[in-house]
A and B are shown apart, each in its own frame.
Chain A
Amino acid sequence: MLALQLLINGIAVGALYALAAVGVALIFWSTRVFHIAHGATYLIAAYTYVALYETSMLLALVASVLAAALFGWGLNKFVYRPIQRSRESFFTLFVASFGTLIVVANVISLWAGSGPKSLPTLLGRVHIGFLQITWVAIIAIVVAVVFLLGLQFFLEKTETGVGLRAMADNVELVELLGLNRRRFAAVAFILGSVLVVPAAILTTYVQGLTPQLGLKIATIALIVSIAGGVGSLAGAVVGAILLGVVENVSTLWVNASWGEAVGFTVLLAILVFRPSGIIPRASAT
């Protein structure tokens, strides 16, 4: 019974990871920016919400979405693009991204303090037989499913979505066809940044918020999207759920403080033995 309970908890945690990871994956596959500053977007979204939710939850949510989108768009325009224009070395972009994360995390800890912030418990929990499930966990799973299906629809059925997927396959071809690569990149950054908002808010309800969380979430998002599969959003989702489940279920055998390490070890092992990831995309060779 405990195992089932942990499995459900793991899926809920994994659903939140998936929302963070899909944003990173979308940005990475379509623009090749190794966007560890996604952690900064997460912090900006979460702290905006925490600062405003007492006024109005809806206002806080809207402000959070706007702040995340604006940050992602601005970072691409004012930092990544100038670097890409002059010299496209992934490490240069990565270092700039990391520097941005450091600056944002510390500006936030100057402004809001480095201690943990928390939100009041939302809604409580439901009992199904022996199982206890928090409403936040249910919301997390539902929100993740809705957003991921919406994203899937966008990528399959709209022109911009198809363009984004084409960028992941062959940037030169996209340009040859006369499509605007820069516009697609801007869309990818805005969309990817907005996707992190529900993850940021719901995770804050579940486990609180500190400026240090930015690096952790970004690391999880990046490793999950890479272990999940090169160029595959579905892979990122599967990797995220796997990490959430392993973290939780492993506490049956090991102390809870080791859960995260066990999860990362499993993903590392996947990368060693299957470098193309869990669900490799056929075209990405």
Chain B
Amino acid sequence: MLDFLINLFIIASIFAIVASSLNLLIGFTGVFSIAHAIFYGVGGYAAALTSLHLGTSLLLALLIAMVASALFSVLLALPAARVTGEYFVVVSLAFALVAFTVFSQWTPVTGGPAGLVGIQRVTLLGIPLDSNEAYLGLAVVMLVLVTLVLYVIIRRTPLGRSLQALRDDPLAAQALGKNPFRLRLTAVLISAALASTGGVIYAGYVFFINADSFSVDYGVLFMAMVILGGAGTLSGPIIGAFFITLFPEALEFADLPSELKGPLEQIIYGAALVILMLVRPSGIAGMFSGLLPKNRRKGGPPDAPEGQPAAGGPVTGAATATGGVA
């Protein structure tokens, strides 16, 4: 029973790391990506390859994973410069499908559909993290570190303020001399690098990875964690990740056949998404505080920026897609 709980909390912490880093994009930059399972995956593969070829050092794996993931994310960030809003959602979806094909078919590097086996338990400064308890500690520490980094970036740096300004009012931010392309690029790079650390922890925990752990379904799951927990709050994605990971385990005790359980879990969180959007789009965390900025909604800023139709739901998307290049 204890092992079962430790396992659950390790997985939940890993998911919380990825969801929190995704929240930097969805919640704080207004870039709606469902491709984050890919950067989580890059971290996983980087850690696996480090373990297989370069040794068991955790810090080395983290370094390689973060650099690789940040570099890879440039491919996603390039379109982010030109297309925004709903257009970017589609771009990220297509990007995720292409990258998933690379994961599952680039056999010399990723092992193809069979994946990579023989990953060793990581060591931290020469100390092996053998027991599951120690590994849980590592996962939690990693989650705390990622959250801290995000806190500092969002609340304590000019970058964080610029990103939120860009999210709330792109035109005003541009008028103040902010470069939207550079800001979005920076956010995507940081977010991808942070997400990859979740993949490193995951690979070191399960000792075996293949593309199935990084599919589009997981990308959707991470998005759901951010949304259900509450986008734009630091605690939201963590709440969402623990909720989505732990809640289905309640079905464990309902004694259902396993072929029913998978779909039932999915139906529950799919329905939760729909109902939440109908009732309370600010997410679970939003129930306790009004942290989601109200002016992201229509009717927030009293006057629309000049040259932009006032209630231009239909037109703004097209405008940013076609003419939004600085």
Contact = CB atoms under 8 A, between A and B. Distances in A.
Contacts of A179: none
A106 B98 contact: no
B314 A264 contact: no
B6 to A, nearest CB: 29
Interface stretch (A2-10, A48-56, A92-100, A199-207): A92-100
B281 A285 contact: no
Given A90-B86, A95-B277, A272-B79, A255 B105 contact: yes
B94 interface: yes
B318 interface: yes
A71 to B, nearest CB: 14
Given A88-B298, A109-B263, A272-B78, A219 B90 contact: yes
Nearest to A283: B318
A223 B105 contact: no
Contact of A99 (B95, B271, B309): B271
A91 B281 CA distance: 10
B117 interface: no
Contacts of B26: 91
Interface stretch (A118-126, A141-149, A164-172, A187-195): A164-172
Nearest to B267: A106
Contacts of B98: 261, 264-265, 268
A95 B227 contact: yes
Instruction: Determine the main DSSP class of A at the interface with B.
Output: helix
Interface in B92-116: 93-95, 97-98, 101-102, 105
A28 B325 CA distance: 23
Nearest to B231: A91
Contact of B269 (A94, A102, A114, A231): A102
A230 B274 contact: no
B87 A226 contact: yes
Interface string A229-258: 011000000000000000000000001011
A275 interface: yes
Interface in B184-239: 216, 220, 223-224, 227
B101 A257 contact: yes
Contacts of A117: none
B267 to A, nearest CB: 5
Contacts of B264: 106, 110
Interface residues of B, number: 57
A93 B314 CA distance: 14
B237 to A, nearest CB: 14
B274 A271 contact: no
B314 A92 contact: no
B290 to A, nearest CB: 14
Contact of B281 (A89, A101, A102): A89
Contacts of B272: 99
B1 interface: no
B97 A219 contact: yes
Contacts of B216: 215
Q: Which of A91, A99, A226, A268 has the most CB of B within 10 A?
A: A99
B317 to A, nearest CB: 7
Interface stretch (A60-68, A79-87, A127-135, A154-162): A79-87
A268 B88 CA distance: 11
A235 to B, nearest CB: 13
B319 interface: yes
B322 A100 contact: no
B266 interface: yes
B321 interface: yes
A264 B281 CA distance: 31
Contacts of B105: 255, 257-258, 261
A267 interface: yes
12 contacts: A32-B313, A90-B317, A92-B277, A96-B277, A99-B270, A102-B220, A230-B322, A258-B101, A260-B97, A264-B98, A285-B318, A285-B322
Given A94-B89, A102-B270, 11 more contacts: A32-B313, A87-B297, A88-B313, A90-B86, A95-B227, A96-B278, A99-B274, A106-B264, A171-B313, A272-B79, A285-B318
